Amino acid sequence: MIKTLLIANRGEIARRIIRTCQAGGIRTVAVFSDPDTDAPHVREADFAVNLPGASPTDTYLRADLIVEAALKAGADAVHPGYGFLSENAGFARKVQEAGLTWVGPEPDAIEAMGSKVAAKKRMAAAGVPTLPELDPETVTEFPVLIKASAGGGGRGMRIVREKAEFADALASARREAESAFGDPTVFCEPLLEHARHVEVQILADTHGTVWALGERECSIQRRHQKIVEESPSPAVTDDIRKRLFAAATAAAESIGYVGAGTVEFMLKGEDFHFLEVNTRLQVEHPVTELVHGVDLVEWQLRIAEGAKLPTQTPEPNGHAIEVRLYAEDPDRDWRPASGTLHRFHVPGDIRLDSGVEDGAEISVHYDPMLAKVIAHAPTRAAAIRKLATALESARIHGLVTNRRLLVDILRHDAFLNGDTHTGFLAEHEFARTVDPQPFALAAALANAATRRVGHLPLGWRNVRSQRPKAKFLVGETEIEVEYDPKQATPDVVALDLDGVRTPFHVARYGDLVEVDSPRGSVSLRIVPRFPEPETGLAPGATVAPMPGTVVRVGVQQGDQVEAGAELLVLEAMKMEHRVLATSAGTVTELLVEKAQQVNAGDVLAVVAEKSGDEQ
């Protein structure tokens, strides 16, 4: 029996595993990096061991330190969660060699699926439908998809439609694969347009029983990362489901799989092709748990202890949908956001798997996912309504997120009709922001109500020639509103907009004002009436948009560049971000080099703009 479990992970999945362990009477050991010292998963575990450092390379990817932590804390088992070392056969072996129970498949099975190139060959031999593999060195037909052989989650993946784009995309994919998985190997496949991403949850014990526990559709993706997942798939018929389950079971049996895993496929029409086997728990596992009434983490632990699965697979019940809520800025090409999350509350009859809470600091070192919000209902339509309403009613203050996009997807006619595919976001237009004017007006009125002289709001005049004004920043855009302070209320302001009375809820955190309403949410910064003088940047200075590491420098001092040319590439929050020249000119200063750490606002380079005649 497992008595004390070390969780080799952080954030949401660490808390998820802790919940199951607490219910089952298993003590838990958390590991944590320096930025995660006060993280919820650290407080909720029975014991915690520090992994000194900040970056994943120095902490959560250090197999030796994690095994040492398990032994030091008296753990007798290790659960890897997902990401980090969860699909690292070498780590699994280290755990077993230390006399600890590994909660996952055998290292040989992990290794067999660890290389997607080798995995495809093995699956083809087992009779599982596969797409042809293309050698990156000899690709001539486009479009193609470049994929990292050693990992997933969209890392090291690029779509290439033209031959001229291929070399740069290949180099970028290899860099990202090396950074994320320690292996730069990539391969190519023909790109299936308008196909669906459908996967089958498998659960296998050591006694020969394999469950195919329903399918999930994960087609709506951005940057090849899933953001909406549901079960069952609206496109899978009974016949397709039967064939999918047979293929997934054959895949598991061909490698002697044990534990929880996922077999992923691309589905187009009636045909499907193997993508990969994820030899771990998936991020989207909650939708399967809700539909089938099982605790997959509990079964992982029981199987690791030698338990048998019942011969009968649990029957599905209803429909479940999950969305991934990320801290990212839609106005800056969905750039990951970091900083203080002042308020985090999602109401309603939903499941919330989150690694954050009020006051959390979102670090630049890790994935920017704040939470998974999941709804379950008897029908797909009811689950959609429940989930969209919960997101619209949420209070998420301090960081911009992808919430509006998620709500708009859930309300979109094509999604409601089940007409989804991996190109869904490219095919449909979604507004990134709402009109900030009424939100700014509500903020001005609420602020006036909090600043009173006696019973009168500050700014009130018995006789006045003009109404008071207030200025705010929405992102980098300044807006000004006029208001009547007699209309003010402290935290809730009702505005009549085109004959429709709408409530606006206002919260303040220093100069940050967060305004929520049924029309959406807006973050504003108060522009002071008498701002302090600022030191200006040199003309042509390019600054770091976020903290990160320089992974590539594409220019040298003295180079002539055109507007939009790549100056360098930063890596932050597990993603690459290209820094481009805003104008044509000469690189007069280059202030960084490869592998250098930079902070947000640091000057990276200076491009002296060409004169009008030169341009």
- Does the CA dihedral 282-283-287-290 come out positive or negative? positive
Which of 83, 103, 123 is at the close of a domain?
Answer: 103
Q: Residue 84 belongs to what domain range?
A: 4-103
241 and 373 share a domain? yes
CB contact at 8 A, 549 and 596: yes
pLDDT at 264: 97
294 and 157 share a domain? no
Is position 174 within any domain?
yes
Query: Which residues on adjacent β-strands are paired with residue 575?
Result: 572
Is position 144 within any domain?
yes
**Backbone φ and ψ of 391, nearest 5°:** -65, -40
pLDDT at 576: 78
Q: Say whether the peptide bond before residue 316 is cis (omega within 30 degrees of 0).
A: no
Give the E-state strand segments of 293-338 in sequence order. Answer: 319-326, 328-329, 335-336
Q: Hey, what are 35's tokens?
A: 């930025």
Query: Which residues on adjacent β-strands are paired with residue 549?
Result: 571, 597
Which of 402, 427, 452 is at the close of a domain?
Answer: 427
SS3 readout for 430-499: CCCCCCCHHHHHHHHHHHHHHCEECCEECCCCCCCCCCCEEEEEECCEEEEEECCHHHCCCCEEEEEECC
Q: What is the CATH number of the domain that holds 494?
A: 3.30.700.40
**Backbone φ and ψ of 157, nearest 5°:** -115, 135
Is position 515 within any domain?
yes
pLDDT at 166: 95
The count of structural domains within the chain is 5
Q: Which residues of the chain have pLDDT under 70?
A: 451-466, 485-488, 530-536, 573-574, 611-615
205 and 294 share a domain? yes
Query: How much helix, strand and coil, in percent to the nearest 5, is found in the chain?
Result: 25, 35, 40
596 and 479 share a domain? no
pLDDT at 287: 98
65 and 45 share a domain? yes
Cα–Cα distance measured from residue 12 to residue 4, given in angstroms and rounded to the nearest whole number? 20
Q: Which residue has 């507004």 as its token pair?
A: 431
Is position 376 within any domain?
yes
208 and 276 share a domain? yes
Is position 116 within any domain?
no
pLDDT at 399: 95
pLDDT at 615: 47
pLDDT at 462: 54
298 and 417 share a domain? yes
pLDDT at 453: 46
pLDDT at 434: 87
Query: Which residues on adjacent β-strands are paired with residue 57?
Result: none
Is position 122 within any domain?
no
Cα–Cα distance measured from residue 520 to residue 568, given in angstroms and rounded to the nearest whole number? 36
Which of 481, 500, 526 is at the close of a domain?
Answer: 526
Q: Hey, what are 489's tokens?
A: 């209320």
Is position 596 within any domain?
yes
What is the residue-wise DSSP string for 341-375?
E-EEE--SS-EEEES--TTEEE-TTS--EEEEEEE
Nearest to 508 by CA among 342, 345, 391: 342
225 and 361 share a domain? yes
pLDDT at 441: 94
**Backbone φ and ψ of 395, nearest 5°:** -115, 110
419 and 450 share a domain? no
Is position 449 within any domain?
yes
Report CA-CA distances (Å) from 302 to 25, 45, 284: 13, 20, 21
CB contact at 8 A, 545 and 337: no
**Backbone φ and ψ of 85, nearest 5°:** -100, 15
Query: Which residues on adjacent β-strands are paired with residue 474?
Result: 477
